[in-house]
Structure formats: C-alpha cells, structure tokens
DNA sequence: CACCAGGCAAGTA
DNA sequence: TACTTGCATGGT
C-alpha cells in the first residue's frame, strides 16, 4: 500500500477524477470568493457572488466604491457580513493601490514576498493568502484548510495536525513544486472531506482512503 | 432543536 | 506562546 502523499493523491484522483478548481470565472472572482468563504459553506458564498454578478459589481473599483452598508447587504448570505465587508474593503484597497487592480501585475511579484504582503492585509490569513496565490495567480503554494487537517489527522497520515505552516511544509517538502498538482490535490481533499470525511461521518464510512 | 461550514483578528494568561 | 471569543447565514 502506498501511503506517500503522491500515492494518496493518485488514489483520490482515480476515485474522483479532475475537480477543475477554483469554481470561478476570473482571477478576481477567486480572490473575492476566498475571503467570502472563510469558515462558511461554499453554497452560501455562491449566492453572494451571484448577487454581485447580477448587479454587475464583481469588479474592483465598483466594489470598493460601495458603501459598507450596501456591500454588507449584497454579501449577506455568506455570513459574518460586517466582518467580511471590512475584509473585502481592506483587500480591495491593497489590490487597487499596489497593483492597479490587475491580477497580472500582482502575479509578477515574487511569490513569497507577495505572500507576506497579503498576510499584512487585515482579514487575510494564511489560507486565504495561499488560495489567492494558487488559485487566482497560479503560484505553486499548497493550501491547507480544515478538511486537510481533519483528513490527515483522522487517517493518521501526519501525526501532528498542528499549525498551518507545519502541515503545509509536509506537503511542500514531499511533493514536486507544481501548481497544477497543488491545485488538484487540495480540490480533491475538499471533495473527500465533504463527501466522506465530514464531521457527520467521523468513521469515514466507505472512505476511498480506508 | 443543535450542529456544521473551504478563517481571522483581538483579547487574555 | 497558547488558548478563547466574536463574527452570522443557510442547510441538514
């Protein structure tokens, strides 16, 4: 049995097939979605994004120009709407002032330097920063989330389901630095977490990794 | 009714 | 450094 990280990936890919992440039509939509989905179900985020699209507001300067009250109302379905309104605004200010609202300009920056800059934006923590780097900009950074920690802790593949950085390093030191692989791997872990390794199913019944 | 969902910042010891 | 708490909707 192959318990290597690549072996687990191969097994998941064979079971689920390609996931084609991130579910979004543009890099900007990925960045906004990454903030909106913090500790929130994706279904609720989809409604908020659809709301923005319907009003033709999924664009940096237009979003930034909205009043906090108006923006909060538009993203209401994603929960924590007051907090997320401030987080979206702080990110948009950074994105507009430092990169002229261009994800292409942003992608030219050195990956680790950009990561530090993203982390300095209020409301962007490690998972949100890495989601933007990987899924919006195509940088080879592994995204760790609640599913990742739960799956690997539950299956005892990593003994220390510790802090974000230590889990991330395990992946990045044991896999080729390939954005396509990191993209698909994390997407597959989310799929597995939702369907087989959820809190509702603590024994991972019929889990493809078992 | 309770619990959960693709976190983060701020406060406390 | 290592906890704890507030934030909030919508589905199961």
Question: What pLDDT does residue A102 have?
Answer: 98
Give the count of domains, chain A: 2
Asked whether the predicted pLDDT for residue A121 surpasses 70, the reply is yes
Answer yes or no: is A69 within a domain: yes
Question: What pLDDT does residue A159 have?
Answer: 62
Question: What pLDDT does residue A1 have?
Answer: 41
- Domain boundary at A114, A136, A158, which? A136
* Residues A175, A93 share a domain: no
Residue A83 has a CB neighbour count (10 Å cut-off) of: 13
Q: Mean pLDDT over residues A113-123, rounded?
A: 98
Q: Which of residues 82-121 of A touch strand C (CB under 7 A)?
A: 82-84
Answer yes or no: is A210 within a domain: no
Answer yes or no: is A207 within a domain: no
Answer yes or no: is A125 within a domain: yes
Output the pTM of the full model: 0.97
Measured between alpha carbons, how far is A196 from A51 in angstroms, rounded to an integer? 31
Residue A10 has a CB neighbour count (10 Å cut-off) of: 12
Task: Report the CATH number at residue A31.
Answer: 1.10.340.30
Measured between alpha carbons, how far is A99 from A101 in angstroms, rounded to an integer? 5
Answer yes or no: is A203 within a domain: no
**A54, A89 Cβ separation under 8 angstroms:** no
Question: What pLDDT does residue A198 have?
Answer: 93
Contact, A51 CB vs strand C, < 7 Å: no
Q: Mean pLDDT over residues A181-187, rounded?
A: 98
* Residues A13, A43 share a domain: no
Question: What pLDDT does residue A158 have?
Answer: 74
Answer yes or no: is A128 within a domain: yes
Full domain range(s) for residue A61: 27-136
- Please, what's the largest Cα pairwise distance for chain A? 56
* Residues A115, A160 share a domain: no
pLDDT in tens, A141-172: 999 999 999 999 998 777 656 799 999 999 99
pLDDT in tens, A62-112: 999 999 999 999 999 999 999 999 999 999 999 999 999 999 999 999 999
Answer yes or no: is A126 within a domain: yes
Question: What pLDDT does residue A161 have?
Answer: 63
* Residues A116, A88 share a domain: yes
Measured between alpha carbons, how far is A18 from A12 in angstroms, rounded to an integer? 9
Contact, A1 CB vs strand C, < 7 Å: no
* Residues A155, A87 share a domain: no
Residues contacting nucleic strand B by the 7 Å CB criterion are A 21-23, 33-34, 37-42, 44, 79-80, 83, 119, 121-129, 131, 135, 145-147, 164, 190, 193-194, 198-200
Chain mean pLDDT for chain A = 95
Measured between alpha carbons, how far is A179 from A185 in angstroms, rounded to an integer? 10
Show the beta-strand stretches assigned E in chain A: none
* Residues A33, A100 share a domain: yes
Answer yes or no: is A114 within a domain: yes
């Amino acid at each position: 049995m192959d318990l290597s990280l690549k072996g687990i990936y191969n097994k998941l890919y064979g079971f689920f097939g390609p996931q084609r992440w991130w579910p979004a039509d543009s890099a900007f939509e990925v960045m906004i979605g990454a903030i909106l989905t913090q500790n929130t179900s994706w279904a609720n985020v989809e409604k908020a994004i659809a709301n923005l699209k319907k009003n033709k507001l999924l664009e940096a300067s237009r979003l930034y120009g909205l009043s906090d009250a108006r923006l909060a109302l538009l993203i209401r379905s994603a929960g924590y709407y007051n907090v997320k309104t401030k987080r979206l605004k702080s990110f948009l200010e950074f994105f507009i002032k430092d990169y002229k609202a261009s994800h292409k300009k942003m992608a030219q920056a050195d990956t680790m330097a950009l990561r530090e800059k993203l982390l300095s934006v209020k409301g962007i923590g490690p998972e949100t920063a890495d989601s933007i780097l990987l899924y919006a900009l195509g940088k080879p950074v592994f995204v760790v989330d609640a599913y990742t920690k739960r799956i690997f802790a539950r299956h005892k593949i990593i003994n220390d389901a510790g802090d974000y950085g230590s889990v991330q390093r395990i992946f990045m030191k044991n896999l080729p630095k390939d954005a396509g692989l990191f993209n698909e791997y994390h997407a597959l872990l989310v799929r597995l977490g939702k369907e087989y390794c959820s809190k509702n199913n603590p024994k991972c019944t019929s889990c493809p990794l078992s």
